[in-house]
A and B are shown apart, each in its own frame.
Chain A
Amino acid sequence: MGDRALTEAPATGLIEDLFRREFGRLVSALTRLLGLKNLTLAEDVVQDALITAMQAWRFEVPRDPKAWILRVAKNRALDVIRRDRRLAPLPPLLESEWTVAGAVDSVLAESETASSQLAMMFSICDEALSEDTHVTLILRLLCGLSSGEIARAFLVETQIIDRRLHRGRTRLQKLGALVDVRDIADRDVRLRSVMQALYLLFNEGFHGSNRENPLLPGMSADALRLAELLLESLSTRRAEVHALAALFCFHASRLETRLDADGVFVPLVDQDRSLWDRSLIHRGVVHLSAASSGTELTRWHLEAGIACEHAIASSVKETNWERIVDLYDALLNLAPGPVVALNRAIAIGELRGPSAGRDLLRAMAEDQRISQYPFYWAAMADLEKRAGNRAEACGLYERAMSLARSRAERVSYERRLQQLH
Chain B
Amino acid sequence: MPKYMFIFRGGAPEIPDLSPTEMEAHLRKWYAWAGELAKAGRHTGGQPLDGMGKTIRGRNRTVTDGPYAESKDLVTGSLVIEASSLEEATELAMDCPVFEFGGSVEVRPVVHHDL
Question: Interface on A for B, CB 8 Å cutoff?
Answer: 1-7, 9, 12-13, 15-20, 23, 47, 50-52, 54-60, 144-149, 218
Contact = CB atoms under 8 A, between A and B. Distances in A.
B67 interface: no
Given A47-B16, A146-B17, A7 B38 contact: yes
Interface residues of B, number: 34
Interface in B18-51: 18-24, 26-28, 30-32, 34-35, 37-38, 43-48, 50-51
B46 A16 contact: no
Contact of A9 (B28, B47, B76, B79): B28
A31 to B, nearest CB: 17
B19 A144 contact: yes
A58 B27 contact: yes
B21 A5 contact: no
B109 interface: no
Given A6-B35, A7-B38, A146-B17, A50 B23 contact: yes
A5 B47 CA distance: 10
Contacts of B17: 47, 146-148
B19 A54 contact: no
B31 A9 contact: yes
Contacts, number: 94
A360 to B, nearest CB: 41
B27 A54 contact: yes
A50 B28 contact: no
B76 A55 contact: yes
Given A51-B12, A54-B27, 5 more contacts: A3-B46, A5-B46, A47-B16, A59-B46, A59-B77
- For the complex of A and B, 10 pairs with smallest distance between CB atoms: A19-B20, A9-B31, A59-B46, A16-B24, A146-B19, A146-B17, A58-B30, A15-B24, A3-B45, A20-B20
Contact of A6 (B24, B34, B44): B34
Nearest to A218: B21
Residue from B17, B19, B23 whose CB has the most chain A CB atoms within 10 Å: B19
B15 to A, nearest CB: 8
Nearest to B16: A47
B43 A58 contact: no
Residue from B20, B21, B47, B79 whose CB has the most chain A CB atoms within 10 Å: B20
A144 B31 contact: no
A59 B24 contact: no
Contact of B27 (A17, A47, A57, A149): A57
Contacts of A50: 20, 23
A261 B37 CA distance: 30
Contact of A15 (B11, B27, B38, B97): B27
B18 A146 contact: yes
A52 B50 CA distance: 8
A56 B48 contact: yes
Contact of B38 (A2, A5, A52, A145): A5
A154 to B, nearest CB: 15
Contacts of A5: 34, 37-38, 43-46
B53 to A, nearest CB: 14
A58 B48 contact: yes
26 contacts: A1-B48, A6-B31, A9-B32, A9-B35, A12-B28, A16-B23, A18-B20, A19-B24, A20-B20, A47-B16, A51-B23, A54-B13, A54-B23, A54-B26, A54-B27, A55-B48, A55-B76, A55-B77, A58-B77, A58-B97, A59-B48, A59-B77, A59-B79, A144-B19, A145-B20, A218-B21
Contacts of B51: 52
A54 B38 CA distance: 20
B110 to A, nearest CB: 14
Contacts of B24: 12-13, 15-16, 19
B50 A56 contact: yes
